[in-house]
Amino acid sequence: MSYKSRKLKKINTNSMPGAIRALGTLKYRVILEGIAVGLLVGVVVSAFRFTLSELDGIRNVIVGLSEPEEDSLLQGLSDAGPGFGWIGLLILGVFAFAVSYFVYKEPYISGSGIPQVKGELMGRIKTDWLRVLALKFFGGIMAISSGLALGREGPSIQLGAMVGKGFSRLSGRLKTEERLLISAGAGAGLAAAFGAPLAGVVFVLEELRKDFDPKVLLSTMAAAVTSEYVASFVFGLQPVFAIFAFKKPTLNDYWMILILGALLGVLGVAYNRALALSQDLQAKIRPRWLKAVLAAFSVIVMAKFYPVCLGSGHSLVEETGYGFIAAGSLALILIVRFIYSIYSFATGAPGGIFLPLLVLGALAGGLFTSVLSPALGLPNDNIAFYVILGMAGLFSSIVRAPLTGIILISEMTGALSNLLPLSMVALVSYVTAEALGGEPVYDQLLERILRNK
């Protein structure tokens, strides 16, 4: 054996135990770092979510969907006359218009933020973490509370990712470790936004990273559990959606689930293609400020004539699940929400697509059983079950992340006994969307960002 070979063998043998010890040490360190990031993300996203909740309540009073509390300032203003309503609508419009300034100052805060996080993890996008964190926080609040059909989850994921990146930069971590912390922060953001820590972990592995790395799993799980623990102090431990499927179909009725899954697959492909078309049309609008004017005008018109479709639509899920909305109204709301949510997202305002698409899925599931069950002579007493299936199925066909959809809906509804039907509807909708050639929405959005960068 040559001197060079003996030297190489000696180095490899001596370095192996050290490498193993270093790997073990790294695992413990990323867990601790994940806990630290999760704590910070829990605080930031809880503040974001709480502010949105309060402003949504004020908006509902302005548009007449709810009554103000007695002896409150809003009650005093509303009693002052009809001028209060118009002033309130004007404020909502100003909010929608002002968002364009934030996006102009920092284009990477536009939309949900999830494609930007994916691009960052791929090394294709570089962002100023503090700038994005600040502008996404306030821009997201203004966009969502104005009444645009946007959700809180996308901004929460991007906020979490920027917290992870900021933690890495301030503590002087290497680039590889920084990506671990960005992933952990993103999962923690989803966990705190929806009270779904397991979904946060699976989303990172299935959608953001598209691989299974034990270090990513450990750091993200630590961050997600910690952030949800922090958020629970503010929002409690109850599920996000207060709907319960007391009545479930029998095994002989599972053919309905297969049909529903196929229909949701078609609807998901239609949604993604309509979204791409709407973004193309928005890109042609010049000058830039005209898009902001149109967005503000859409909010005012919707608030005046169809306020039930404003905002993320969280309450529509529960009202549909309890059977409070007739089939005809469900169909109309589904059409209006479909168009308005696509338009809202295409404006580029900082807001997510998760919650609006879950609302569409809930409406589609509720409409499906409200029409089909009476036509077949079946009792329409399991609408909540199909609402839950509708959310999981449409999520799977649009995002193309079925595992995340199954776990997310299970955690958001607090029901872990529906895994078989959820898996079935998610799989069928996924396969249908794939067969129709639909592109996953976040891949589609990331490609557009990189093309226009």
CB atoms within 10 A of CB 236: 9
Tell me the C-alpha to C-alpha distance, in Å, between residue 318 and each of 264, 315, 363, 387, 441: 20, 5, 10, 9, 26
pLDDT value at position 70? 54
Same fold yes or no, 18-235 and 251-451? yes
pLDDT value at position 47? 96
Query: The whole model's pTM is what?
Result: 0.88
In single-letter form, the type of residue at position 37 comes to V
Tell me the C-alpha to C-alpha distance, in Å, between residue 127 and each of 36, 172, 182: 22, 17, 12
Say which residue the tokens 């168009």 belong to.
339
Tokens at 124, concatenated: 């294709």
pLDDT value at position 186? 96
Phi-psi category of residue 172: left, alpha or beta, with phi > 0 → left and psi -120 to 50 → alpha: left
Fold of 18-235: Clc chloride channel (1.10.3080)
pLDDT value at position 288? 75
Tell me the C-alpha to C-alpha distance, in Å, between residue 174 and each of 57, 97, 222: 43, 40, 20
Sorted by where each begins, the domain ranges of the chain are 18-235, 251-451
Fold of 251-451: Clc chloride channel (1.10.3080)
What does pLDDT average to in each consecutive run of 10 residues of the chain (453 residues)?
42 48 66 94 96 86 65 48 56 74 87 92 91 93 88 94 95 85 96 93 91 87 96 88 73 88 96 94 82 82 86 87 88 94 91 92 94 78 88 94 92 82 94 92 89 74
Q: Are residues 185 and 34 in contact, defined by beta-carbon separation less than 8 angstroms? A: no
Phi, psi of 119 (to 5 degrees): -65, -35
333-355 residues labelled b (16+ CB within 10 A) or e (exposed): bbeebbebbbbbbbbbbbbbbbb
pLDDT value at position 86? 59
pLDDT value at position 8? 37
Alpha-carbon distance 412 to 54, whole Å?
A: 20
